[in-house]
Amino acid sequence: MGSIHEVGSGNNSQIFDLRIDPGKKKSLTLYTKVDLAQAERMRELAENFGMVTLLLHLYFSILYNAGMLGGQRTFGLHPVFQFDVSKAQMQEWIVGWTSSHARSADLPSSVPKNVLDDYIEAVSTFNINAYKASVAMARRALQQALEDKGATKGSKLLDQINELEGKGLLSKPTSYLAHAVRAFGNYGAHPNDDLLAQITRDDAETTLMAAKKILKELYK
């Protein structure tokens, strides 16, 4: 019998017991969390060097001949696996990770790809603490969605929001949220005032939450 210990803090550690009979074998799939900021750093390294090397360290113990008097032994194992990940593979992974993040937000499957791509970029930039870029992309996702739903292309975002509210496609509370997204995103259009420089993490998070609610209402 062997035990794999998942290292955590406090009482969050877990023990997974796997009993393997003699002559038998079992497979185990392990997953690790990768912060998107770290993922972006890995992509940067892959951009500069053509690939990035990852080292996977596993620490676990094996209890051999469990319960046998005089024959029971415990072995501590520390295998290390090296992976050389290409630039193309890293880019593919990051697209998958950010897409999963967007989908985990419960966005409807009917959201068009161009709108979803902008929303994903807003999420991705938020996760690397680029809050100014995040609110700008959230605004872009909003405008793309409004135009997809019939708002007059080329009009000001203010007018587009009011247009869809007038058509009953946006409720009054959601239109208020849309105007909030518009306001934060508009900061980037006035560099002389540089209001965008004042965007905080809370501002960006609020903007993303509002954009998600708007998309869910438009594509429900």
82-98 pLDDT tens trace: 888 888 888 777 766 66
166-175 pLDDT tens trace: 999 999 999 9
Parallel, antiparallel, or unpaired for β 73-77 and 60-64? antiparallel
Whole-number Cα distances in Å, 52 to 25, 32, 137:
33, 17, 28
Confidence band, pLDDT 50/70/90 cuts, at residue 187: low
Judge whether 37 and 128 are in contact, CB under 8 Å.
yes
Residue boundaries of the structural domains of the chain: 2-45+53-86, 105-218
Give the integer Cα–Cα distance in Å for 47 and 25: 40
Task: Note the CATH architecture for domain 105-218.
Answer: Up-down Bundle (1.20)
- Cβ atoms within 10 A of the Cβ of 181, count? 27
Q: Report pLDDT for 36.
A: 61
Give the residue, 132 or 146, on which the prediction is more confident. 146
Helix or strand or coil: residue 51? Answer: strand
